[in-house]
Amino acid sequence: MRIHSSDHSWLLLAILVILLSFSGALSSDDKEKKTKSVDKKKEVTYDGTSLIINGNRELLYSGSIHYPRSTPEMWPNIIKRAKQGGLNTIQTYVFWNVHEPEQGKFNFSGRADLVKFIKLIEKNGMYVTLRLGPFIQAEWTHGGLPYWLREVPGIFFRTDNTPFKEHTERYVKVILDKMKEEKLFASQGGPIILGQIENEYSAVQRAYKEDGLNYIKWASKLVHSMDLGIPWVMCKQNDAPDPMINACNGRHCGDTFPGPNKENKPSLWTENWTTQFRVYGDPPAQRSVEDIAYSVARFFSKNGTHVNYYMYHGGTNFGRTSAHYVTTRYYDDAPLDEYGLEREPKYGHLKHLHNALNLCKKALLWGQPRVEKPSNETEIRYYEQPGTKVCAAFLANNNTESAEKVKFKGKEYIIPHRSISILPDCKTVVYNTGEIISHHTSRNFMKSKKANKNFDFKVFTETVPSKIKGDSYIPVELYGLTKDETDYGWYTTSFKIDDKDLSKKKGDKPTLRIASLGHALHVWLNGEYLGNGHGSHEEKSFVFQKPVSLKEGENHLTMLGVLTGFPDSGSYMEHRYTGPRSVSILGLGSGTLDLTEENKWGNKVGMEGEKLGIHAEEGLKKVKWEKFSGKEPGLTWYQTYFDAPESQSAAAIRMNGMGKGLIWVNGEGVGRYWMSFLSPLGQPTQIEYHIPRSFLKPKKNLLVIFEEEPNVKPELIDFVIINRDTVCSHIGENYTPSVRHWTRKNDQVQAITDDVHLTASLKCSGTKKISEVEFASFGNPNGTCGNFTLGTCNAPVSKKVVEKYCLGKAECVIPVNKSTFQQDKKDSCPKVDKKLAVQVKCGRDKKN
């Protein structure tokens, strides 16, 4: 066929257009691949020594900070303080039920803005470890798993179960694809250097037998198949499948961790617990910073190159996010407390530890390990690089009662009881885990003058139902009834009593007995409130039992089942049950009446006030509020207004006078409170409840409280501002001078100053200055910061000396030696090893 010239030109033009379009499409595809692909040169790798980031070995000091447990407004300061504390990495879980509370509907805004949180970490020049879950535990409701998963047909959590794996894979890919799109992986130039899939699975693996092992292998293949250019870990999973790294959780991984399951994997510590999380009914619990420092030094002396403090900042379980019985305040004894303030000396002593370890960096990463055992109680671990001066040593004394002497490289050292001395040049002690040089602080809760002005409480009381329509033949399981939309579920039933069932003897009453699987319960009979009962974190089941007055004919029983969160651990969580399980009347003339399976039960979910949203301004007008009478029944809502506490210090509400319930401020859920559950010391486990400044307006803030118990006293509630303006030092005269005096130069440890001597440092926060010396003693003082007392030995000029060095200053340094405090050169107690205890008060100048 012959083509005319005009046809030919049109054909060429058409071909050219097609080629250009195809070229553009390829260019666009290539661009998208370039944006989303990883750079092999930037991949994070590892060997038997450490992680390797951008071709460099690193010692990693990490801290857990969970983005939903603080507000976006708090994040920058918390992250900044973490970096100033010597951390170079932040670890966080990813909370599935925060991001996908409804199936298919994802949320990444507000406290759920994971991308913003990670970018703030990146802005501070720090790395990120991302712990994906799907299960996280974390003392978080349902272990981070969304409720709707329970209702997926045929599902079994955390095992080789098709529905669970399908939903997990979809969720994991949503999160990881989002991170990849934002170029947040280290292989893309971002901060994420390490990932974790699953969490402490070995604790439940036996329950699932072969399916458990298959699930772990599947989870490992899932994340590695995405080729993101970072290593992955499984914590407390010694049989983690290759190339997954098995990591340690615990308090003393330097002694309890069996080590990596392959020689080409590094020793990583994913959770070093800085304290014990609290549950309602607990007394105060702490873990000393000396013990934490000892454990970290021990781990690094035994080939460890990564430690993560769980938690570094615990924060707050806002709203209804805590797991069952867990307090609203979370890991408050961490280096940064619930409010993001530095808890000293925990914060400072660990900062000094990181400084000391950094001086040992070259030896730890490139040196050859050696061990000497001078005695049963002592051990020397050191690293040398043959042919160089690079050497670092850890001298350990495991004697818990007394100091020990050791000889190392021709020199004698005294090591205090149960401590480790760090020598970054194998000669100079720059840090001892048991000797705290950093200052101490005591936290103060100051009653606000501005916020506590004659509260005008108004109340609305829920109606207690006597008969709810229903056809259930047993009380419905409470988790399934509430679906995590509320803490409350109603149960009603009716039963008839004949005259022959009632005793004629005076005072001889039948007994109502209710056995419950948890968590708490309120009971009414014929409209009369009988009382309440509850379990505990350790023993969730309980029995409510009380003599009752029955009437001839029909009687009405009402129960309110109460949750304190969903479970966060264990196998077969999807089949965990709670709520009333057995109800009976004992002591009737005809015997025991079992109401559990012989009556029809009616059910109702939640409070009327919850459904109407009366915790927020827009819902207030939906009910009729009455003036507070001074004595109200249980299930009452209280509302009032208050002005924001003065200053910009952290703020909280003290729930004195109250029982158990929920708090909102301007519609934001502050959390659950439980003042009536007392610890063995006779005190509530938590009294103050954090109100972030971002929840507040300058004036007319709405406070709404839902109170379960009757006859409470809301007039005793008050607002407080929090500071750490009580600053102390407590240092022995024979302690090692601060590690801050030392640096490393040309492979040698050198003093920064000519005169290295022991000093006590005190520093106020912000623009505050030392306004008063409240206590000072050089001798043998007793007590702790906020509670010092004089001992039998004291230099009389102690306070005068400290005032000279410190008054009116934002920070001060006091020499700790006899010549400073014994100016008359007389020592009234020469046989006493002296300590300096100082307590000062910080405040603002009137100008500030």
Q: C-alpha angle 367/369/370, rounded to 5°?
A: 135
Average pLDDT for 112-118: 98
404 is catalytic: no
Q: Is-contact 308 129, C-beta < 8 A?
A: yes
Q: For the chain, give percent helix, strand, coil, nearest 5.
A: 25, 30, 45
Q: Which of 43, 198, 271, 462 is catalytic?
A: 271
Dist. CA 770–CA 784, nearest whole Å: 19
pLDDT digits (tens, 9 = 90+) for 425-458: 999 999 999 999 999 999 999 999 999 998 999 9
Cα four-point dihedral sign 52, 58, 62, 66? negative
Among 255, 230, 256, residue whose Cα is nearest residue 245: 230
DSSP annotation of 574 reads: G
pLDDT digits (tens, 9 = 90+) for 710-769: 999 999 999 999 999 999 999 999 999 999 999 998 888 999 988 899 999 999 998 999
Q: What does the block give as tokens for 197?
A: 């899939």
Q: Which of 43, 200, 338, 707 is catalytic?
A: 200
Residue 34's pLDDT is 41
504 band by pLDDT with thresholds 50, 70 and 90:
low
Average pLDDT for 307-336: 98
Helices and strands per DSSP (H, E), number in the chain: 14, 43
Region for residue 195 given its phi and psi (left: phi exceeds 0; alpha: psi -120 to 50; beta: otherwise): beta
Number of CB atoms found within 10 A of residue 789's CB: 10
pLDDT digits (tens, 9 = 90+) for 608-621: 999 999 999 999 99
Residue 21's pLDDT is 45
100 band by pLDDT with thresholds 50, 70 and 90:
very high
> Tokens 């009137």, residue?
846
Whether the per-residue pLDDT at 826 is higher than 90: the answer is no
Residue 814's pLDDT is 97
Residue 597's pLDDT is 87
Whether the per-residue pLDDT at 848 is higher than 50: the answer is no
Query: For residue 94, what are the contacts with CB-CB under 8 A and spacing of at least 6?
Result: 114, 130, 131, 132, 133, 136, 144, 175
Among 554, 564, 574, residue whose Cα is nearest residue 532: 564
31 band by pLDDT with thresholds 50, 70 and 90:
very low
Average pLDDT for 813-835: 89
Point out the least confidently predicted range of 136-140, 304-308, 516-520, 764-768: 764-768
Average pLDDT for 474-489: 97
Whether the per-residue pLDDT at 660 is higher than 60: the answer is yes
pLDDT digits (tens, 9 = 90+) for 246-268: 999 999 999 999 999 999 999 99
Percent above pLDDT 70 for the chain:
95
Residue of higher predicted confidence among 30 and 530:
530
Instruction: Please state, rounded to an integer, the average pLDDT across all residues of the chain.
Output: 94
Q: Is-contact 101 531, C-beta < 8 A?
A: no
Q: Give the strand order in the sheet containing 378-384.
A: 368-372, 378-384, 391-397, 419-423, 431-432
Dist. CA 812–CA 807, nearest whole Å: 9
Among 603, 606, 607, residue whose Cα is nearest residue 477: 603
Whether the per-residue pLDDT at 691 is higher than 80: the answer is yes
Whether the per-residue pLDDT at 525 is higher than 60: the answer is yes
**162-181 and 202-224 helices, crossing angle to 10°:** 50
Average pLDDT for 336-356: 98
pLDDT digits (tens, 9 = 90+) for 198-222: 999 999 999 999 999 999 999 999 9
840 bridge partner residues: 727, 773
- What b/e string do you get for 724-757 counting C-beta neighbours within 10 Å, with b at 16 or more? bbbbbbbbbeebbbbbbbbebeeeebeeeeeeee
pLDDT digits (tens, 9 = 90+) for 545-604: 999 999 999 999 999 999 999 999 999 999 999 999 999 999 999 999 999 988 999 999
Cα four-point dihedral sign 412, 418, 424, 430? negative
pTM confidence score: 0.94
Point out the least confidently predicted range of 72-76, 743-747, 838-842: 743-747
Three-state SS for 162-221 is HHHHHHHHHHHHHHHHHHHHCCCEHHHCCCEEEEECCCCCHHHHHHHHHHHHHHHHHHHH
Dist. CA 71–CA 363, nearest whole Å: 40
How many alpha carbons lie under 13 Å from residue 264 in its C-beta half-sphere? Answer: 6
Percent above pLDDT 90 for the chain:
90
Residue 2's pLDDT is 33
37 band by pLDDT with thresholds 50, 70 and 90:
low
Residue of higher predicted confidence among 6 and 108:
108
598 is catalytic: no
Number of CB atoms found within 10 A of residue 407's CB: 11
